[in-house]
Structure 1
Amino acid sequence: MTELARQVGADQPVLIAGATASGKSALALAIAEASGGVIVNADALQVFENWRIVTARPSIQDEARAPHMLYGHIPGDQEYSVGHWLREVAPILNGPSRPIIVGGTGLNLSALTEGLADIPLTPPAIRKDGEARLAEGGLPALLADLDPETLARIDIRNPARVARAWEVQHSTGRGLASWQDDTPPPLLPLSEARAFHLDAEREWLRDRIALRFDLMLEDGALDEAQHNLSSWDPKAPSSKAIGAPELIAHLKGEVTLEDTRAAAIIASQQYAKRQRTWFRKRMNAWSAIPLGVVA
């Protein structure tokens, strides 16, 4: 990582994508220290203030080594979308410091480099209606209302994607595909940045994920969960942090710490699998950095 960091000049923005525990933050810090810049978070969960350890946000010590932005600045119960993130990133791109944008949320990075349709927020009443329909009739109840163009583009087996398409259809009167066709130009075209994809080998990454969760426990993840226990709401946006539900369940006496550790590691490994698949499919034009590959 150090040698790669030295090869990155200070004249272009930097993008770093990769699965959880692949070393993205370490590379970003190495680049910032080698050639300057501000490290900008592109992870959808590291924005929340109430989970630093569990979401693997940079430590206070790392934050002191280089400027960091968009970490831990959103209340845990506040909605925060890709659109919110893009609006916060826009002025940073035009700021005085070269941005080093790092994260494992592929949708954020794709929206940044490919553009994102400016779809209005969904009214709570429509979202509640969609949730009720999904609970009563399953995915077919929502899919039946979608236009053919949207059905052809989304993963019709993914409840979150189907629900999102249904909400857009009912709140705007236009299909999601129609909105996507009107996508504005990207804030940061890929051709104007140095883009790296940390492409980790599966078993190497699995071992790192297990080790990292053990280090989280050593660093105080249980204490962090204890601080969140009194206000815990499983529906809160920050509650999606992998490891958070498992630690809360342990503190409530529902599972042993051993079972908590196993469940959190498995959940993180499953998430990493989805990330690796997504990045390899969508980021062919990024510079792939193989990790853990035996020669």
Structure 2
Amino acid sequence: MASADPVHGWFARSGYAVALGAELIHLSEDSARILLPYKEENSNPGKALHGGCAASMASLGGQAVARAALGPDSGPWHTSGLQVNYLSAAIGEAVVTEARLLRKGKQMCFVDVSVATQAGKPIAHATTMVRGRFGAPEPEWVKSRGDDGAADPGSMGPHIGRIPFMAARGIRVEHMTGGHSRLVMPFQEANADESGGMHEGAVLALLDTTGAMAGWAETGPGPFKASTPAMQGQILRPPPGEDLIGYARVVQRDRDIFYSAVELAGCSDGRLVARGTVIYRIVTS
């Protein structure tokens, strides 16, 4: 295994990991353990851990193992594929992430990640495929399709930024009606990676939230119960150090389940950074 020091340093010098309060408490050649203490800034109303935090733990755990397994010269790194299943809520309590190497290739690592409370209650499960680029030159990045440019945040949009986790990320809603959403997240220290780019965890939080808001844009507000059962994502490249914009649209729904296609791009050039599908549940009856 490569020295663990670069991986611990990555945690300590990444503004996003520091802002979350994530602590890398164990690292070996095939496993990692991360403690995330309870913080109001990581929560939804009611002290529930935000789904973006659980997705962030999948990224942090997967990358910690992959960086250690592939070595410090294998970067830059990005999570090319990720599946997160949200199993239950963590209410006002710390969670522990356990990441386990499933298989190591020449440039890729497949990692299984579980998030649970300290009492052992399962919170989320993920599988990740992390790629080390070994300094390979970047290809020409495709531009996002964007949207029609409408700017109606709806009745809910102005309130989203007041949710503790959203406020900490600086996320704002530009559009949120008719099953479509558009959100912007600024590049700031609390969202940053040691590399100088946006942290993958913050990227996944934006993907999760943009997809969820498309579901709410379909139903409108109401006394409904809502949650994210699952999310799939692909981070196409190491995220740049700039503001990101997220576009989502509901492509299919039934009574309770909303399937939202999401694209994230750089605000300056519109080039894709990540894409995925958020499966959101809103119980309206």
- Classify the TM-score, shorter chain: under 0.3
Name the structure where helix makes up a greater proportion of residues: 1
Over alpha carbons, which structure has the higher Rg? Answer: 1
* TM-score scaled by length of structure 2: 0.24
- By relative contact order (CA 8 Å, sep 6+), the higher-ranking structure is 1
